[in-house]
Amino acid sequence: MAIITTKDGTQLYYRDWGKGQPVVFSHGWPLTGDAFEDQMFFLASRGYRCIAADRRGHGRSSQPWDGNDLDTYADDLAELVAQLDLRNAIHVGHSTGGGEVARYIGRHGTGRVAKAVLISAIPPLMLKTPGNPGGLPIEVFDQLRAGVQADRSQFFKDLSMPFYGYNRAGAKVSEGVRESFWLQSMMAGFPACYFCIKAFSETDTTEDLKRFDVPTLILHGDDDQIVPIGAAAMLSSKIVKGARLEVYKGAPHGMCTTLKDRVNEQLLAFFKESTAAKAA
C-alpha cells in the first residue's frame, strides 16, 4: 500500500496512477479517493499522473480523533504534495475536497500549483449566517449529525439517493453506485463522519478563494441537493479572479459519477488548454 505519515503520525493511504503532469484529487465526505476512479483512469490513460489520498479518518487512512477540520486536511494535503515532491500540479476537489483545495491554497500558496478545479464544492460557506443569507440553516447540519449518530449505515444508504439525483423523476438508478457510496462511507471512522460535518458546513473559505492566482474551473450542477449552487459555485466564481464557471443543467452532487464522460472530457480540455496557455 502507498502510504505517507504526517507530522502528527497519521497515516494517509493514496493511489498513484500513470505518469506525466500530476493531478491531485481531494474527495468529498464521507467517501474515499475511489470516488474519483472514473476521472483518474481516464486521465492516467491520457498522459497524466493521477494521485488521490483518502482523507484522514476516511477510507484506508488512519482514524485519529483529532484533526477533522479543514486546516488539518489542507496541511495533510500539503504534506502529501511535499513528500511526493509534486510540482506544477493540478488540484481537483469535489464537495468537501473543494474546501480542502481552497484552504490548501489559502495556507500554502500556489508555488506548486498549476491550476485548480472545484466540482460541486462547498466554498465559500455552506452555513446560513447574517453575512451569508443564501446558506443552509444550522438545523440541516444538525440533522446530518443526528443521522450519523442514530444509524449511520442506513443514513448513508438513504443519502445516496439525493447525492446522485436518484430521487428525481425519471432518474436511472444504479444500485451498484449506491452500494459503492455506502461501502466508501462505512469505511470512514465514526469521528470523521461526525466532526467533518462541522468542518464542511461552518468553515468560511472566502479569504482562501481570494488567494487563487492560477487558472480555475468551477463545475456545479443546478440540481445539487447536497451543496446548493446558489451559496456555493455562484459565489465562488465571483471571488476567484478569472474563474470559469460551468453550470451543468439538472446535474446532481455526484455528477463525477452520473455524468463522468462529460466531466472527464471537460477536465481534459481544460488541462490541455491551460498547459498550452502557460507554455505560450
The catalytic residue positions are: 95, 224, 253
Concatenate the DSSP letters of all residues of 202-243 into one string.
H---HHHHTT--S-EEEEEETT-SSS-GGGTHHHHHHHSTT-
Phi, psi of 172 (to 5 degrees): -90, 105
CB-neighbour burial class of residue 276 (10 A; exposed 0-12, middle 13-18, buried 19+): exposed
206 grid coordinates: 472566502
d(CA 242, CA 213): 9
Helix/strand/coil (H/E/C) assignment for every residue in 240-265: CCCCEEEEECCCCCCHHHHCHHHHHH
33 near 27, Cβ under 8 Å? yes
Answer left, alpha or beta for residue 165, where phi above 0 means left and psi between -120 and 50 means alpha: left
Distance of CA 31 to the CA centre of its chain: 9
DSSP state, 166? T
Kindly give, in sequence order, each residue whose CB lies less than 8 Å from that of residue 183, ignoring residues fewer than 6 positions away.
Answer: none
